[in-house]
Structure 1
Amino acid sequence: MYYWRDLDSVPEDFGPSVLTLGNFDGVHRGHQRVLQQVVEAARQRSAEAVVVSFDPHPAQVHRPDSAPELIMGLEDRVETLAGTGIDALLMMHYTLELASNSPEEFVERVFVRALRAKAVVIGHDVRFGRGNSGDLDTMRELGRTLGFEVITIDDFGASYPEDATDADGDRRCSSTWVREALEAGDVGTAARVLGRLHRMRGEVVHGAARGRELGYPTANLGATAQGFVPADGIYAGWLIDGAGTRWPAAISVGSNPTFDGVDRQVEAHVINRPPERVQDFDLYGQSVAVEFVERLRGQITYTGPEALVEQMRLDVDNARGLLSTEHQPRR
């Protein structure tokens, strides 16, 4: 996949293309259906399948105090988009200057001159250009004027999870649904909507070392870790180290109230290692990922270290049992 961070990086002879426009936070099953149709339309037209997206998220620029927490960081978004079969990704740096482009200026400069669009795949509720003044009718008119086809998708390709339950009703896949599930600690529902386990990524940093002192050393993600932090509690999941090795883990999210902690932390204890190797598992400075399989319990304040250690032992046993079944989200 070609990956460009600005228009100047797009080769002058690139194209023709079939493209779509969006933030694609989470790249959930609805997004995946859109991208599948972009790829199919591109193949039918002997064109390149292209995604035009933005970093940072426009809401972080226009309303930083109320912008939603992103489901995934940029690295994971690029990696996941690459896995959908698209040929190129243009990740434009979103600024107020870019936002000031009229719909006509944006489409002509990006879609036509840079990417030589044959077709544009969009939803009925598309908004683009200065003040979100461009809509579907605008895009159709620009297509007639500038010479590209407009392909519309109902609900922007939304789809029900294949394993939807009666409790889900007729709700369609969306980034909002994923965020709501993660806020509630329901990482299982988040995985069903995403089509894969929810992931965070960050550098392992030194913490207070309480877990190591108690016999359960953890890899602590630093404050710059990317990805939506789920509700406080203990989770069964996986830690993927810098070499790409997947380790079963018990993951703690919270502020360590037993020790009067304040700041929320995400820390993973790798399980199933020989007792003599538990203390020498050094990941400091590595960029790692953690994936959440299932929430085991909420955060609890204990009366002292002894009660906490006993609960940690139970948590690790529960995580080990759950992960031994190779629990994965159905696709």
Structure 2
Amino acid sequence: MKIFDSLPADFNSKTVVTIGTFDGVHIGHKKIIERLVNTAKKSGLQSVVLTFFPHPRMVLQNDANIKLINTIEERSLILKQLGLDVLIIKKFTKDFSRLTAEEFVSEILVKQLHAKKIIIGYDHHFGRNRSANIEDLKAFGIQYDFDVEEISAQDINEVSVSSTKIRNALVEGDVKTANKYLGNYFMLTGKVVKGKSLGNTIGFPTANLNIKETYKLIPKLGAYIVKTIYKNQTVYGMMNIGTNPTIKSNNQQSIEVHFFNFNESIYNKTLTIELLDRIRDEQKFDSIEDLKIQLQKDKTTSLNYINKHHA
């Protein structure tokens, strides 16, 4: 898959295009991408996803509080696995939002992407103030010689419902439901940074994960069963999202992962952690010894789960 972080100036292939933010690429989105890829192959065209970053709400509504299921890098990784030919990540700006519907169609879809077919939702709106709809797009298709395939209300509802359910599930710590709708494991990607090494003193050394993207949705505080791929090997562990109330009292949130049977130095490495299941809420214990006892129970719970589901 080729990835462009702007509209390519020298793109010559004729294409089938779909357009959207595709946050939390999930089972509803995957159905659309599958249709796109299959259509392109049958027609001898290139399959193209045109997506936008930052999220339009961040730009137009100055909504700094919006939380996305995937970072843009995670989104790219998942789309690559779906057999897509080209991913274009268009920087969304206020100037771009002011393009008229016809300017968007003629300048971007036709002149730059050479679209011969657009696969899009029945409720899609585009152009300045989102003033144009799918009927307008079909009329432009006749004018500029491309077909429009309409995604049904049922399929679009599945997409919107899935996104809402995924966000709600993650906020509640229900990663099983989130993973079901994603069709893969929810992931957190970040760099391992030095912590206070308190885990070493109690026999549970942890990797402290720093996620630079402030827009990334972080699930409910608590303990989770996780895995990562490191040097082409699957490594399992348990992760705590929380403030470590037993050890410190500054309420600063951290994401710490204890890997099982793992001794490598991974400081400054970027890891993608996949969340398999949730163990419990975060707790404050009366003593460090009580915390150690609970962590050992969490480890046993995690290993039992891994042996049952991932052996």
Q: TM-score range by the shorter chain?
A: over 0.9
User: SS where residue 197 of structure 1 aligns?
Assistant: coil
Q: Residue 172 of structure 1: CA displacement?
A: 7.0
Conservation of the 8 A alpha-carbon contact between 1:29 and 1:158: no
Matched with 2:258 is 269
Any gaps of 5 or more consecutive residues in structure 1?
161-170
Number of aligned residue pairs: give it. Answer: 309
Q: Residue 244 of structure 1: CA displacement?
A: 3.8
Conservation of the 8 A alpha-carbon contact between 2:192 and 2:269: yes
Q: Which consecutive segments of 4 or more residues in structure 1 shift more than 6 A?
A: none
Q: Residue 84 of structure 1: CA displacement?
A: 1.1
1:174-213 matches, within 5 Å, as 174-213=162-201
Supply the AA of the counterpart residue of 2:36: V
Deviates more, 1:222-231 or 1:102-111: 222-231
Any gaps of 5 or more consecutive residues in structure 2?
none
Q: Residue 159 of structure 1: CA displacement?
A: 8.1
Q: Deviations over 1:187-235 (max 9, x none)?
A: 0111110001101101000112211221111111114157421111101
Q: Residue 146 of structure 1: CA displacement?
A: 1.2
Matched with 2:29 is 31
1:60 to 58, 61, 66: 58
Check if 1:11 corresponds to 2:10: yes
Conservation of the 8 A alpha-carbon contact between 1:233 and 1:298: yes
2:94 to 96, 117, 128: 96
Supply the AA of the counterpart residue of 1:262: N
Check if 1:69 corresponds to 2:63: no
Check if 1:218 corresponds to 2:206: yes
Q: Deviations over 1:265-312 (max 9, x none)?
A: 111100134xxx5xxx32110001111011010111111211111111
* Structure 2 CA distance for aligned equivalents of residues 194 and 270 of structure 1: 24
User: SS where residue 324 of structure 1 aligns?
Assistant: helix
Q: Residue 327 of structure 1: CA displacement?
A: 4.2
* Structure 2 CA distance for aligned equivalents of residues 67 and 214 of structure 1: 36
Conservation of the 8 A alpha-carbon contact between 1:239 and 1:247: yes
Conservation of the 8 A alpha-carbon contact between 1:124 and 1:156: no
Cα RMSD, aligned residues only: 2.0
With the length of structure 2 as denominator, give the TM-score of the two structures: 0.93
Matched with 1:163 is none
State, as a whole percentage, how many aligned pairs show the same letter. Answer: 30
Conservation of the 8 A alpha-carbon contact between 2:189 and 2:211: no
With the length of structure 1 as denominator, give the TM-score of the two structures: 0.88
Q: Residue 67 of structure 1: CA displacement?
A: 4.8
* Structure 2 CA distance for aligned equivalents of residues 212 and 240 of structure 1: 23
* Structure 2 CA distance for aligned equivalents of residues 57 and 291 of structure 1: 24
Q: Residue 239 of structure 1: CA displacement?
A: 2.7
Conservation of the 8 A alpha-carbon contact between 1:204 and 1:283: yes
Matched with 2:298 is 315
